């Protein structure tokens, strides 16, 4: 409280917006906005490196914050590879091996299929709500809407390696960027929303980019082609059986 809070209030007033909202609610709403109770999405993932790049096609279903099934559909080499997340646990399936493998915790911080996203990035975005001290540190403007910068500093005993995270969340709960800092507070990687559009009946980020900030020209872009929210999903979708059989992709859309 004190001077800092007064300044923030002053900024808020200058923009004609309500005073800084609760950062906790803001992030919770932002995560919920992108995933909702259930969601279905089709996207293209572009992995870019200085001397090569490749594109993968993906379909994904999510339920709540904890369950997700992600399946590659193209190129042929990768088609059929899939990841299942249930709470904290993750499994991968590779058709070439015809085997479901439970990912050990030690692998969760590794890169996912050679992209700039780690398995943790896929699964644990919501731990920011539990393990960090959140504070709105800046209120700016983006496309005519207020954009809140939230600084998230992990608690001392939190199972989090980062020094801090910065989230920029627009007033309509679209996450504009998320930056990860090391413990020297040097930025290491950043997820940015490059395009925002309407999809599945709501305004969401439709193109996002995760860049490694300590390496030039390393980034992974996700471009959403189709999205649907709050569709009925069968329980059997989020099972290792479905992960392996790959039977749902055609029927899942319409539930």
Partner 1 sequence: MVLPLKLLFQLSVRNIFRHKRRNGMLLAAIVVAVGAVVCTSSLIRGFQYDMADAAVANLTGHVKILAPGYLDDPNIGKSFELAETWRPDVADEELAGWAARVRVPAVIMSERGTRGVQFVGIDPAQEHISFIGSVAVEGEHLADASDGRILVGRALAEQLETGAGRRLVIITQGHDGLNRESGFRIAGLYDAEGTGLEKMFVFTGVDTLQKMVGADVYTEISIRLRRDPVLFQLKASLVEFFTGLDVLNWQELEPQAAAMFVFADSAFFIWYFIMMGALVFGLVNTLVTSVMERVRELGMLRALGMRSRGVVAQVVLESSVLMLIGVAIGIATGWLAVLSMGDGIDLTQWAEGIEAFGMRGKLVPVPLADDIVLIGLMSVVLGVVASLYPALRIVRIKPLEALRR
Q: How far is the CB of 126 from partner 1 (least distance, A)?
A: 15
Applying CB under 8 A, which part among 152-160, 194-202, 203-211, 240-248 lies near partner 1?
152-160
Q: Which of residues 229-248 bind partner 1 (CB under 8 A)?
A: none
Residue 74 as a binder of partner 1 (CB under 8 A): the answer is: no
Helices (H) and strands (E) in the chain, counts: 5, 13
Q: What is the SS3 assignment for 15?
A: coil
Q: How far is the CB of 165 from partner 1 (least distance, A)?
A: 12
On whether the CB atoms of residues 29 and 168 are closer than 8 A, the answer is: no
Residue 11 as a binder of partner 1 (CB under 8 A): the answer is: no
Angstrom CA distances, 99 to 83, 106, 110, stand at 12, 20, 20
Cα angle 46, 125, 213; round to 5 = 50
**Rounded Cα gap, residues 241 and 255, in angstroms:** 17
Q: How far is the CB of 90 from partner 1 (least distance, A)?
A: 12
**Rounded Cα gap, residues 148 and 209, in angstroms:** 19
For partner 1, the closer of residues 98 and 157 by Cβ is 157
For partner 1, the closer of residues 155 and 241 by Cβ is 155
Q: Which of residues 177-196 bind partner 1 (CB under 8 A)?
A: 180, 182-183, 188
What does the binding site for partner 1 look like in residue numbers (CB under 8 A)?
Answer: 88, 104-107, 109-110, 154-163, 180, 182-183, 188
């Amino acid at each position: 409280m004190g001077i800092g809070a007064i300044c923030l209030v002053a900024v808020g007033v200058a923009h004609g917006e309500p005073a800084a909202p609760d950062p906790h609610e803001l992030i919770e709403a932002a995560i919920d906005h992108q995933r909702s109770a259930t969601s279905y999405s089709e996207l293209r993932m572009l992995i870019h490196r200085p001397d090569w790049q490749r594109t993968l096609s993906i379909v994904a279903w999510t339920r709540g914050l904890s369950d997700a099934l992600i399946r590659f559909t193209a190129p042929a080499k990768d088609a059929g590879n899939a990841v299942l997340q249930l709470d904290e646990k993750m499994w991968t399936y590779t058709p070439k091996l015809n085997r479901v493998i439970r990912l050990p915790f030690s692998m969760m911080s590794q890169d996912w299929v050679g992209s700039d996203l780690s398995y943790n990035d896929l699964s644990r975005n919501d731990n920011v709500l539990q393990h960090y001290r959140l504070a709105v540190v800046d209120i700016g403007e983006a496309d005519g809407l207020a954009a809140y910068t939230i600084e998230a500093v992990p608690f001392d005993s939190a199972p989090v390696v980062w020094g801090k995270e910065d989230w920029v969340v627009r007033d309509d709960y679209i996450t504009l960027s998320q930056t990860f800092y090391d413990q020297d507070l040097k930025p290491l990687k950043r997820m940015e929303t490059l395009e925002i559009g309407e999809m599945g009946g709501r305004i969401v980020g439709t193109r996002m980019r995760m860049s490694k900030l300590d390496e030039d020209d390393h980034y992974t872009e996700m471009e959403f082609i189709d999205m649907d929210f709050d569709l009925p999903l069968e329980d059997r979708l989020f099972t290792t059986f479905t992960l392996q059989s790959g039977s749902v992709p055609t029927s899942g859309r319409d539930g």
